[in-house]
Structures are given as structure tokens and as C-alpha cells.
């Protein structure tokens, strides 16, 4: 889940299909309005990220508070970069 969101941030490019939806959901997450799980499921529901394949699932590494902080900073930087 965490890795898919990181990939979504990396692929986020202004003007690309789905950018507005991804940006809106991730911005809500970065501001603390929703948690990581809710952001993930919102992205899945809106079909902005691919549903993981069962065979591709692997053991999850626990997401730390530091991981989430870095992700939120990355989202803020990406959105800020796209505004310029």
C-alpha cells in the first residue's frame, strides 16, 4: 500500500490523466485530513492506482511514522513543484 502511494507520487505529472484526482486525494492525506489507508482505498476506488494482483502480494514492511512524514513531505514538494 505504502509503496503504491509512493509510486503514484513519483508518476504524478501535471496535465497527465488522473493528476487532479491523485493530487486531491494525496493532498488531503498530506494535510492530515485522511489516513494512509483511506488515501489508498480512495485511489483504488477512483481507479487512479491499479488493484494489486494476489500473486504479486508480498510481506508488508511496517510503515513507520518517519515513513509517513517523508511521504507527506514528498507530496507537498511535488504539489508545490507543479504549481510553478
Q: What is the pLDDT of residues 12-53, one digit of tens each?
A: 888 888 899 999 999 999 999 999 999 999 999 999 998 877
Percent of the chain's residues with pLDDT above 70: 90
pLDDT reported for residue 28: 97
Rg (CA), the chain: 13
Contacts of 13 (CB under 8 A, 6+ apart): 19, 82
pLDDT reported for residue 59: 63
Which region holds residue 32: left if phi is over 0, alpha if psi is between -120 and 50, else beta? left
Between 73 and 62, residue with greater pLDDT:
73
Residue 13 cell numbers, joined: 505529472
Contacts of 59 (CB under 8 A, 6+ apart): none
Amino acid at each position: 500500500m505504502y509503496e503504491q502511494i509512493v509510486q503514484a507520487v513519483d508518476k504524478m505529472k501535471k496535465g497527465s490523466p488522473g493528476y487532479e484526482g491523485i493530487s486531491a486525494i494525496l493532498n488531503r492525506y498530506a494535510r492530515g485530513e485522511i489516513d494512509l489507508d483511506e488515501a489508498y482505498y480512495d485511489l483504488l476506488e477512483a481507479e487512479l492506482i491499479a488493484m494489486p494482483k494476489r500473486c504479486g502480494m508480498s510481506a508488508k514492511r511496517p510503515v513507520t511514522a518517519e515513513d509517513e512524514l517523508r511521504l507527506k513531505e514528498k507530496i507537498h514538494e511535488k504539489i508545490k513543484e507543479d504549481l510553478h
